[in-house]
Structure 1
Amino acid sequence: MRITSIEVKHAALPLNPPFKASWDPNPRTSFAATVVYVHTDEGITGIGSGDLMTGFAGHEHLFIGQDPFAVERHAQIIENIDFHYGRCWPLDLALWDLMGKATGQPVYKLLGAREDKILAYASTGELVSPEERAERALMLREQGFRAMKIRFHHENPRDDIRVVEAVRKAVGDTMDIMVDANQGWKMPWDVARTWDVKAAYQVARELEKLDVFWLEEPLPHDDFQGMEQLRAMTGIRIAGGEMNRRLHDFRELSARGALDVYQPDAALSGGITKGKKIADLVQGSGAWFSPHTWTNGVGLLANLHLAAAVSLCPYLEFPYDPPAWSLERRDFLMKQPVRVDADGYLRLSERPGLGFELDQEKLAHYTFSQEAAGQQA
């Protein structure tokens, strides 16, 4: 089997009403998704999605004529492209989808199949009042979720803590609560100060009292020493690493014991190929691997296959904050959205590859030009 061509399409779903992401004061009026197809001479096509594939144009020839199963070679080239031009990890996802289809196996079985299910935590995205967040938490519990994540981004962290207090009061001990401080990286326009170790510790101390399961990204993603210090200062689990893009970052973080939970997203940072290496590295030192999944349903599935195959963490992120962030919005390119069952689990099927089918009508309707894709980033 040989790769004959690689095709990249860009689509964007208009959002009305807009999605008011906690990390961006500019309401999102559209949701962009990139789809990459890897075609072969045997008529099998692998499909991936997640990041915008910026920087890939002009590099297709590096893969044409190659064996799609040579994923270590391909991952190295994608990493080279990442270094020079931009992230193209959805291509790695497409290669794994292709290998699964070619062998008739779901990807998680190719990776090790530790489990065929994993508990989901509902990952919320909006800043809302304490009362509204508590009401939404109860709704999530009724739908079967056993855990949820609350995002911080108020100017005063005390206002964020009040939201956690309201949710804990509403759900009692029936749900685990994670908190995302959103201090790990910045939007292009953001020049505000991020937390330092002392500020993060003050927040962590209050969250410990509320039995928060983990505190995510309380410091910049490259402040390895600060995360090491913070983890030693508090009893709460410290999570991060979703946007760290190099294996040596994780090697250094792990050597320092800087994190309890490592979260590289296969669709954004390293693909499935590098993600498994990171999982093996950090879990060998006693930490958890629980990838970030906030792209779309295809990216979520890729991380689900990876986590089910290798993760020791009891939970996987499930982006979901209705009505603002619904399954229909997140998974608009798919015929069937990824769902959680009544017991709160994400369950993997026996379908080969990543196990999804694109909605070709919607894809055709919402496709736009590659030049416009850069404006959607």
Structure 2
Amino acid sequence: MKITNIEIKHYRLPLDPPFKAAWDPSPRTNFASTLVLVHTDEGYTGIGSGDLMVGFEGHEHLFIGQDPFDIQRHSRVLDNIDFHYGRCWPLDLALWDLMGKATGQPVYKLLGGSTNKVEAYASTGEMVTPEERANRAERLIEEGYKAMKIRFHHEDVRDDLAVVEAVRERVGNRIEIMVDANQGWKMPWDTNPVWDLKKARQVADELADLDVFWLEEPLPGDDFENMAKLRDMSKIRIAGGEMVRRTHDFREMVRYGSLDVYQPDVALAGGITKVKEIAENVQSNGAWFSPHTWSNGIGVIANLHLAAAVSDAPYLELPYDPPIWTPERRDYVQSNKLHAENGVLTIPDTPGLGIELDQEALEKYEISSAYFGGETY
């Protein structure tokens, strides 16, 4: 089998009402997705998504004519592209989807997994009042979720803590609460200073008193030494690494003992091929692997397959914050929207990643480029 063609296609869904993401200066009015389609001479097509494939144009010839099963070779080429240009890891996802389809097996089985069920935590994204977040937490519990994540991004961290306090007061111990401090990396326009070690420790102590399950991204993502110090000081788990891009950085984080929970995303930092290696490394050193999944539905599914195969962590992230962030928005390029039943995600036992594209949506929302007016979402 040989790769004959690689297509990159872009789509944009208008968001009305807009999505008030915690990490954005103004509400998002649209949501872009990029599909990678890898075609072969035997009629199989692999599908990947989760990033914009910036920098891939002009590199197709490095893969065309190659055996799609030569995954280690392809991963090394993508790693070189990542170093020089941008994150093009959705191609790795498409290759795994292709290998699954060609062998008639779901990807999690190719990876050695024995279960197709993973407990999800509802990862919320909006900045809302303490009362509204408590109301939404109640609804998540009614849907069967056992864990949720709350995002920080107020100017005064006391306002963020008030949201967690309101949720804990309302729901008691009926749900686990994670907190994302959003200090690990910055959007291009965000020039505000990040927390230092003392502030991160103060917040961690406050959250420990509220029985928070883990504190995510409390320090810059490259501050491996201070993350390790914070982890030693704290009573709660420290999580991070969602935007760390290079495999050797994860090796350094493990050497320092930076984190309790490592969160590389297969769509953003290494594909399934390299993130599997990272997951095995961190878990062999006593930490958890629970990947970041906030790209789109295909990115979630790809991370789900890997987590089902190798993760020892109790929960996997599911971007879900109804009524504003729902499967209908997150998974708009797919006809099979991803839903958790009683808080559990189930992987379909269909070959590959199990992606079914919504052809009507693709025709309606296709655009020539994911960029317009400096905005990519």
Identify the TM-score tier after normalising by the shorter chain: over 0.9
Match runs of 1:192-231 below 5 Å:
192-231=192-231
Question: For residue 48 of structure 2, what is the aligned residue in structure 1?
Answer: 48
Change beyond 3 A, Cα 1:371–1:278: closer
State the shift of 1:169 in Å: 1.2
Tell whether the 8 Å contact from 2:33 to 2:370 is kept in structure 1 after alignment: no
Tell whether the 8 Å contact from 2:32 to 2:370 is kept in structure 1 after alignment: no
| SS of aligned partner of 1:36 | strand
State the shift of 1:155 in Å: 0.6
Tell whether the 8 Å contact from 2:178 to 2:214 is kept in structure 1 after alignment: yes
Match runs of 1:65-144 below 5 Å:
65-144=65-144
Distance 2:152 2:187 in 1: 15
Tell whether the 8 Å contact from 1:114 to 1:310 is kept in structure 2 after alignment: no
State the shift of 1:371 in Å: 6.7
Question: For residue 351 of structure 2, what is the aligned residue in structure 1?
Answer: 352
Letter in structure 1 aligned against 2:118: I
Question: For residue 367 of structure 1, what is the aligned residue in structure 2?
Answer: 366
Question: For residue 316 of structure 1, what is the aligned residue in structure 2?
Answer: 316
Residues 91-150 of structure 1: CA distance to partner in whole angstroms, max 9, x if unpaired?
000000000000000000000114221100000001111100000000011011100000
| SS of aligned partner of 2:208 | helix
| SS of aligned partner of 1:39 | strand
Letter in structure 1 aligned against 2:265: D
Distance 1:109 1:170 in 2: 41
Tell me whether 1:294 sits opposite 2:298 in the alignment. Answer: no
Distance 1:212 1:364 in 2: 44
Letter in structure 2 aligned against 1:5: N
| SS of aligned partner of 1:128 | coil
State the shift of 1:370 in Å: 2.6
Question: For residue 63 of structure 2, what is the aligned residue in structure 1?
Answer: 63
Tell whether the 8 Å contact from 2:47 to 2:355 is kept in structure 1 after alignment: no
Match runs of 1:145-156 below 5 Å:
145-156=145-156
Letter in structure 2 aligned against 1:193: P
Residues 56-106 of structure 1: CA distance to partner in whole angstroms, max 9, x if unpaired?
000000000000001111011111111111110000000000000000000
| SS of aligned partner of 1:94 | helix
Alignment root-mean-square deviation, CA: 1.0
Tell whether the 8 Å contact from 2:12 to 2:370 is kept in structure 1 after alignment: no
State the shift of 1:372 in Å: 3.5
Distance 2:184 2:96 in 1: 29
Distance 1:157 1:370 in 2: 38
| SS of aligned partner of 2:268 | coil
Tell whether the 8 Å contact from 2:121 to 2:147 is kept in structure 1 after alignment: yes
Match runs of 1:205-284 below 5 Å:
205-284=205-284
State the shift of 1:375 in Å: 4.0
Distance 1:152 1:114 in 2: 36
| SS of aligned partner of 1:24 | coil
Distance 2:354 2:371 in 1: 29
Distance 1:121 1:71 in 2: 31
| SS of aligned partner of 1:37 | strand
Tell whether the 8 Å contact from 2:52 to 2:370 is kept in structure 1 after alignment: no
Distance 2:159 2:82 in 1: 38
Tell whether the 8 Å contact from 1:14 to 1:31 is kept in structure 2 after alignment: yes
Distance 1:87 1:74 in 2: 14
Tell whether the 8 Å contact from 1:18 to 1:29 is kept in structure 2 after alignment: yes
Count of aligned pairs between the two proteins: 376
Question: For residue 326 of structure 1, what is the aligned residue in structure 2?
Answer: 326
State the shift of 1:249 in Å: 0.6
State the shift of 1:361 in Å: 1.1
State the shift of 1:327 in Å: 1.1
Give the TM-score, by structure 1 length.
Answer: 0.98
Give the TM-score, by structure 2 length.
Answer: 0.98
Letter in structure 2 aligned against 1:354: L
| SS of aligned partner of 2:235 | coil
Residues 331-377 of structure 1: CA distance to partner in whole angstroms, max 9, x if unpaired?
001102101012x1111121110012000110111010137367416
State the shift of 1:326 in Å: 1.1
Tell whether the 8 Å contact from 1:12 to 1:368 is kept in structure 2 after alignment: yes
Distance 1:252 1:372 in 2: 34
Runs of 4+ in 1 over 2 A off after TM superposition: 370-375
| SS of aligned partner of 2:14 | strand
Residues 276-300 of structure 1: CA distance to partner in whole angstroms, max 9, x if unpaired?
0000110000000000000111000
Tell whether the 8 Å contact from 1:261 to 1:288 is kept in structure 2 after alignment: yes
Tell whether the 8 Å contact from 2:370 to 2:376 is kept in structure 1 after alignment: no
Question: For residue 21 of structure 2, what is the aligned residue in structure 1?
Answer: 21
Distance 1:114 1:187 in 2: 38
Question: For residue 186 of structure 1, what is the aligned residue in structure 2?
Answer: 186
Letter in structure 2 aligned against 1:347: T
Q: Name structure 2 gaps, 5 residues minimum.
A: none
Query: Could you tell me the percent identity over the aligned residues?
Result: 68
Distance 1:349 1:17 in 2: 32
